[in-house]
Structure 1
């Protein structure tokens, strides 16, 4: 299990993702600092104006830093501060949320690109519900960090520095006391709050992922659940998960309430100590009453930038947990190391060994091989059949040719070039790869076919549909090629999906066909049409046809049998 990162390291790595958004962050911080200074100015100027009209303080006020102006000047200054405070606060929030929504979109795009590189080997190991939770809820939770954490921390730090300089002109003791108070309220309290809820936050994020995975699993198998009367059992399982999650969230909310209580208590205590400090300093004639009043007003107001940060403590525990999950996926290395080399046709054009597999062995668990010392040579333009029972390694062999995984031992060559030296993008352009379970996307039938060839004409699409024995069926649909495909193609049968998958392969028209049980869900009539089309395709294509049915493989030039990971000639 991977070691958990510290909160500081998570913050640093999340900040690095900002890239070209620092200009917006600079504006947010600058407007935030100016806004808080104007906010402090309202209360401070009110203090100056009151002191300037009281008989016992107005004469001494002019000897204090900033106290030499008239009462009307302070009032106009307060109006100025109030007006521009609102504008600056709007600009700060606008920039913060612009940054947050922009970076969240970029993170989603990055994760999609990373998952594409990890697929299929690494992605098959992951829970799809957990990935959905990560791409939606986890990334959305990072908005708290980017909109309400980075700039507020910087704003609070720079604001404290400015207030320290101002208070130093009043009295250096007050300046240092304010600094210590802000460190206590703004750093120490949030730190211990985050520490207390750190494990709870990660647990909640992980359990939300598990809950999503359970729901996806149930939705996929809803017919079986109804058929076998498992509704109560499934409902109880979901209840247990949600109750457990509810308890964890309740615990986190309780900790959040504790943090808010601790923050408020800390502010009250520091204010009381400020009052006691002022009494002591006045009694020793170290300060006068005017300075102590101004310092007291500023001390109470100076906590404003830190209060929200302190209350973010428990929310940040979940945010950092979400951030760690996102960073873990971002930093995950693909199983396959991609090459940057383009596929270059061998000048020898070695037709006798167009596809050559040498001493190939592979196992998902490296201690147990699924394929054992496979040796196979396929000529260009041959139609080769591989027959065997389920689980004997037929599908695995095709995936290795596609380089979804790398073999433990041995090599695969295309036209005498090792596939490991070819870029995956370029390699996959050589293949039409089809499994017995075709995936359809939400959209139209045309959209699903154009995946294979985006610029295909309707005539090309219909020609491919004829080869796949699906042309006549499409003509019966009300909207023909523009007919809607529902989620996962649930408005099409298994056999219809297979024929759409075959039509994609015929439309793509690539050099090598890898067909894994392509007619397993079809009737004899439609299978015969498709096999006839494959015979025609084999005249200028190389085809590897995998099936457990001898009748399907009867069209092949040569048939191999696979058993226990070993391949034999028939």
Structure 2
């Protein structure tokens, strides 16, 4: 389990071989020089003070600051390189996850994850990985090398006391092993609760309009407090384990040092050991437990990093349910679109579409109507291949759409949906989102066609006007006309309108309908709607109910059938 994560992490770290080698040697020399500095205690006490060697005193006085200057420079270099490597590793990992999310099929976002959970992984989890990569190598390499160096110094000074000290070492490290599993468990728990908090934040802020309409601010605050308290409790439990290991290790170490002082001090009093050797040994032993303490303190960061890495790997291992074949064809539309015995379900054994057969010829105006929940928008999702059919085929000019590249297939369509999404950017950038190479002349033409040019031209900053989050600084009708112009700018073969006027007032609806009717003259149009007054002059109307086509024909044929279409049409006439 750990090895798989380490291999994955090394696939990113290998890009920094040279930098890592420089950092490694800096860590190596830092550990070695730190060990050497402890050995200097012996000549200071034995030769300088005992033999009153002034020359050696001067030498050691010069050596110590030089030694620590070198250590300081090495520490700076290795710390800077480690942070650089960690920063670049997380940057590329974050980009890879984002790229994967951009190409993964829609069902992941609808059925397997939420926006908040995904945001938490791209922010909080990547920060945990940064901390792990930046800090762990330094501690493990520097402090392990320091420990090895100190062991050598210990044996040089006294084999007997070195063996005694090392007997205590495994006992001091034992808490690390005990607490690792608990730290990993609470780290998973903490990351999960933070993801839930992010999800609640994202949803609450997005729904602030609804919250204030229904006066549910207090309820939302209580929900947030609940999620926030769960994060607090999870972090508290993690911290309880995290901060318990170090004191236990220090206590065990202190007992070991006390034993060494007792026995070693006795040997010095009896003349079996020189004071210089004893103090050098004591300084080395005391220094020995510092790297052990650091290893204990880095363990929680290591566990959090591995848990976060696991959560990001989960995203990268998500397979798209919509797979493009190798060497796909370029999609072209010259004749007709055919749904052939198509059945589909979002969840197993819950059919949404059942045995759908429909045909859309080039240049036709085709409507798909029916009550809410009939499966109308699902037809759009299948046609754009956001999902693949469970049974049957969708053909464009007698070619299964699975044989086309996704890019060329979706390029055939210009889509305008009910809930138009505009980016918090300029009108120009929103208009040219699907065609970055559009010229000013082309943009002016499509905005005039969509009856939105005059509105834009009267704004102080015109096309450079920022529309605000989701475009909410504009009216619903203005957003829809920008969406139509945006679709027009890609020059699609087929226009799809999915409930384009259902959220508009009468005045905005009439302007949008006027724009739509212009398109009807020279484009293939698919209109998905429940408002039957919009489809009276369409060439063909498919009536859906409970996932099945129950009627088809033009308005007059369907009215003469006196079926579901007639009932819905008359009902809407009464309502208006």
Match of 2:552 in 1: 569
Contact 2:345 2:352 in 1 (8 A): yes
Instruction: Say whether the 8 Å CA contact 1:41–1:81 is kept in structure 2.
Output: no
Task: Indicate the larger mover: 83-92 or 559-568.
Answer: 559-568
SS in 1 for 2:341: strand
Confirm or deny that 1:499 pairs with 2:481.
Answer: yes
In the TM superposition, what whole-angstrom CA distance separates every residue of 1:228-250 from its partner, at most 9, and x where no partner exists? 33222222222233233323322
Does the 8 Å CA contact 1:535/1:555 hold for their aligned counterparts?
Answer: no
- Counterparts in 2 of 1:410 and 1:276: CA distance versus 1, 3 Å: farther
Residue 320 (structure 1) aligned with residue 306 (structure 2): yes
Q: Quote how far apart the aligned CAs of 1:289 are.
A: 6.1
Tell me by how many angstroms 1:167 deviates: 4.4
Q: Deviations over 1:423-444 (max 9, x none)?
A: 3233222222332111111111
Please give the residue correspondences for 1:272-421 in structure 2 after superposition, counting only pairs within 5 Å: 272-275=258-261, 278=264, 291-344=277-330, 351-352=334-335, 354-421=336-403
Question: Match for residue 19 of structure 2?
Answer: 24
Distance 1:245 1:56 in 2: 63
2:40 corresponding residue in structure 1: 45
Unaligned runs of 5+ in 2: 554-576
Measured in 2, the distance between the counterparts of 1:277 and 1:10 equals: 46
Following superposition, the deviation at residue 178 of structure 1 comes to 5.6
3-state SS of the aligned residue for 1:485?
coil
Name structure 1 gaps, 5 residues minimum. 1-5, 59-68
Give the superposition deviation at 1:325. 1.8
Number of matched pairs: 547
Q: Which moves more between the two structures, 209-218 or 388-397? A: 209-218
What is the correspondence of 1:83-232 to structure 2 with a 5 Å cutoff?
83-125=69-111, 126-172=113-159, 181-185=168-172, 187-232=173-218
- Deviation string, structure 1 residues 397-453 (Cα, Å, up to 9, x no partner): 111111111111112222222222233233222222332111111111001111021
Q: Does the Cα contact within 8 Å between 2:328 and 2:404 map onto a contact in 1? A: yes
Q: Deviations over 1:291-314 (max 9, x none)?
A: 454333222223333322212333
Match for residue 30 of structure 2? 35
Note the C-alpha offset of 1:287: 7.2
Tell me the SS of whatever aligns to 2:421.
Answer: coil
1:525 matched residue in structure 2: 510
Map 1:459-538; keep pairs closer than 5 Å. Answer: 459-522=441-504, 523-538=508-523
Instruction: Give the equivalent residue in structure 1 for 2:424.
Output: 442
The equivalent residue for 1:453 is: 435
TM-score by length of 2: 0.87
Measure the CA separation in 1 of the matches of 2:256 and 2:52.
26
Native 8 Å contact 1:96 1:148 kept in 2: yes
Query: 2:489 is paired with a residue of what secondary structure?
Result: helix
Q: Secondary structure at the match of 1:122?
A: helix
CA distance, structure 2, for counterparts of residue 12 and residue 180 of structure 1:
34
Give per-residue Cα distances to partners, 1:518-538, cap 9 Å, x unaligned: 233444531342232212331
Aligned equivalents of 1:239 and 1:519: distance in 2?
38
CA distance in structure 1 between the aligned counterparts of 2:373 and 2:68, rounded to whole angstroms: 74
Q: Is the 8 A contact 1:41 1:78 kept in 2?
A: no
CA distance in 2 between counterparts of 1:42 and 1:516 reads: 75
Deviations 1:252-276 (A, max 9, x none): 3332331231132133123234445
Q: 1:239 — aligned with what?
A: 225
RMSD: 2.8
Compared CA separation, residues 334 and 284, structure 1 to 2 (3 A) = farther
CA contact (8 A) 2:366 2:541 kept: yes
TM-score by length of structure 1 reads 0.88
Contact kept in structure 2, 1:498 and 1:521, CA below 8 Å: no
Contact 1:129 1:212 in 2 (8 A): yes
Paired position in structure 1 for 2:59: 73
**1:409 & 1:553 partners in 2: Cα distance?**
29
* Whole-angstrom CA distance in 2 between matches of 1:515 and 1:341: 31
